[in-house]
Chain A
Amino acid sequence: MNQSPSMERRGTEKIAPPASIAITLHVNGEERKLKVAPWTTLLDALRDRLNLTGTKKGCDHGQCGACTVLVDGRRINSCLTLAVMKDGANITTIEGLAKNGALHPLQQAFIDHDAFQCGYCTPGQICSAAGLIAEGKAKSVDEIRELMSGNICRCGAYPNIVAAIQQAMTAMGGKP
C-alpha cells in the first residue's frame, strides 16, 4: 500500500545520516564501551554486540518479558529501551546473577521446582523475579502472580515458577 504524505517522515532529507554514538554500559559489574546506532535497542546491544545471548528476544514488543534485565536494580523490558538512553547505567543480565561459581538462589530454585520446560522465557522470568524480590512488594502468592504477569511462559510452568520464587524469597530472607 502506498504511503500518503502524512505517513512520510518530515525533514529526513535535510539531515545527515546519524553517526554511531559512543556509550558505556556497566554490564554484570564490567565496564563495556561500545558504539551504537541510535535505533539499537538495549536488547540488541546485549545480544548482538556484547554476545550476552542469555537475554532472549521473544516478542520484541514488551508483551512477553523474555528480554527482562535489571537496569540500576530495576527490572525493565530491554526490547523497548534504546541502548543510547542507558549510557552509564548498571545492567544485570542472567549471566550476572551467579556469583563465584554458585548459582543465584532463584536459579537454584528454578531447578529445584522444575520451573521450566523449554527454558526460553526462563532468563526473563529469573531476572524479573530478582527485580520483584528487590522491590519487596509481593507478600502473598496472589501478589507474586500479579507482579510476575509481565513474563509469559507458553509451556505453562506458572505454578512451579511461583513455587520457585517463594523458595528463593525465603532463602534470601524475604517473604513469603
Chain B
Amino acid sequence: MINFQYARANDVADAVRQIAADPGAKFIAGGTNLIDLMKEDVERPSRLIDISRLPLKTVEATAVGGLRIGALVPNSDLAYHPLIKQRYPLLSSAILAGASQQLRNMASTGGNLLQRTRCYYFYDSATPCNKREPGSGCSAVTGLNRMHAILGTSEACIATHPSDMCVALAALEAKVHVTGPAGDRAFALADFHRLPGDTPQLDTNLQPNEIVTAVELPASGFAKNYSYLKIRDRLSYAFALVSVAAALKIEGGSIKEARLALGGVAHKPWRNPAAEAALRGQAADPAVFQRAVDVLLRDAKGFAHNTFKIDLARRAIVRALTQAAQGTPQSQSSKKIR
C-alpha cells in the first residue's frame, strides 16, 4: 500500500476543516472499500482523515415520523435495528443481501453510499478506465462486460453501482444529509448518485469537501408488501447481476402506491416513475407487473456479454413484485426463490 499521513477528526466541523486543508485527503470510516482500492493503487490519498470515532452512530426518530440514521451506523447494526426490522424491513433485507457479516460489521451507512464500482477494469490500473483515469477510454464497452450496466450507460462508462442498501434507500425515497464548508444541505437519494455521462469519474453529487452526516427515512416504510430479490452468480457474498427492491401499498386488491428500484443494472440505483405509474390504481397481478416492466426496460441496452440481464431483470421484477404483493418477501438466508 502507498504511504500516507493519518489524522483523526475531533468532530464533524474539524473533519470538514481538515479535508479542505489537503486536496489529496480522503475520509476513512469502515475502510472496507477504500483500503482495498488503496491496495490496488486505484485510490492514492495523501492523507486519511479518520472519522470513525465521530458521534454519528445513532438512529433517531424524526419529527415527521421517520428515522434519521447517523452516517457511521454500521451496516450490520442498521440491518438488525429493531425499528428498521419492524418498519423498514426492505432496507434490512437489502443490507443483509450484501457483503459478509464481517464487512457489514465494519462498513458504515455513509460509506455504503460512497462505495465505488466493482468493474474489473476500474480496479486494474494497467487498463484504460474513464472513471479511474478520465479520458483514457472505457475497456468494458468492448471488453468483458457480463456484470455491466444495461440502463443509463454512456460511451464513456458502463459501470454499475454495487450497493444493495442504496437500492432499498432509493425505493424508500430516503434523503442524504451532508455538510461542508458552505453549510448543511440534503439530497433526495435519487439525486445523490449520478449517471456516468461524460464525467464517469464522479459517482455522486457530493462536493469534494463535503461529508455525509445522516440518511433520513420518511415515515412510510412499506413494511407489509415488500421484497428485495437479488440475483447473483453464487448464493451469497457476491454482487448483484440484477437486484430488485419492490414496495407496494395495496388496498382492496388495488395498488395505491408502488416503488421499484433496480440494482446491478446502472451507474446508480435505477428508478423509473413511468413504470411505477403503470402500477398505480391497477390490480396486483402478473399482467400488470409485466406492463410496468415493459416501460422500465424499454430503453435497456445490452453489450456483448450482458444482454441476458434484460430478460433476467424482466423476470426478477415480476417475481419481486409478486412476492411483495403476496406479503412473502424473499428470504436472505433460505435462498429458494418462491
Interface residue ranges, A against B (CB under 8 Å):
1, 3-4, 6-12, 15, 17-18, 21, 37-39, 41, 60-62, 65, 68, 74-77, 80-82, 84-85, 128, 131-132, 135, 137, 140, 142-143, 145-147, 149-151
Contacts and interface: CB of A to CB of B under 8 A. Distances in A.
Contacts of A7: 44, 125, 132-133
Contacts of A81: 31, 35, 106
Contacts of B101: 75, 128, 131-132, 135, 147, 150
7 contacts: A6-B133, A7-B133, A39-B1, A74-B76, A77-B106, A80-B32, A150-B100
Given A8-B44, A82-B35, A150 B103 contact: yes
A37 B3 contact: yes
Among B3, B22, B125, the one with the most A-chain Cβ atoms within 10 Å of its Cβ is B3
B332 interface: yes
Contacts of B335: 142
Contacts of A61: 36, 39
B266 interface: no
Interface residues on B, range: 35 or more
A12 B44 CA distance: 10
A84 B6 CA distance: 8
Closest 10 CB pairs of A and B: A150-B100, A38-B6, A149-B236, A10-B24, A149-B237, A11-B24, A146-B333, A142-B333, A143-B333, A9-B44
Interface stretch (B47-55, B138-146, B161-169): B47-55
A80 B36 contact: yes
Contacts, number: 124
Nearest to A150: B100
Contacts of A10: 23-24, 46
B236 A21 contact: no
Contacts of B50: 84-85
A10 B26 CA distance: 12
B44 to A, nearest CB: 5
Given A9-B45, A41-B35, A82 B6 contact: yes
Given A38-B4, A38-B6, A137-B80, A76 B105 contact: yes
Contacts of A142: 331, 333-335
B199 to A, nearest CB: 12
A150 B105 CA distance: 12
Given A76-B105, A77-B32, A150-B237, A38 B48 contact: yes
Given A9-B24, A82-B6, A150-B103, A60 B39 contact: yes
Interface string B92-105: 00000001111101
| B-side interface mostly | loop
Among A15, A60, A77, A151, the one with the most B-chain Cβ atoms within 10 Å of its Cβ is A77
Given A11-B23, A147-B101, 16 more contacts: A38-B4, A39-B4, A41-B1, A62-B32, A65-B102, A74-B76, A76-B102, A77-B103, A80-B36, A82-B28, A85-B31, A85-B52, A131-B101, A142-B331, A142-B334, A150-B103
B9 to A, nearest CB: 12
A132 B76 CA distance: 12
Among B38, B48, B105, the one with the most A-chain Cβ atoms within 10 Å of its Cβ is B105
Interface in B26-78: 28, 31-32, 35-36, 38-39, 44-48, 50, 52, 76
A74 B101 CA distance: 10
Contacts of B126: 1
A4 B31 contact: no
A9 B102 contact: no
A150 B331 CA distance: 18
Nearest to B50: A85
Nearest to A136: B80
Nearest to B21: A11
A151 B331 CA distance: 21
B39 A15 contact: no
Given A10-B23, A85-B28, A131-B101, A62 B36 contact: yes
B302 interface: no
Contacts of B103: 62, 77, 80, 150
Contacts of B125: 1, 7
A4 B46 contact: no
B102 A128 contact: yes
Given A9-B44, A135-B101, A80 B35 contact: yes
B5 A38 contact: yes
A18 B237 CA distance: 36
B329 to A, nearest CB: 15
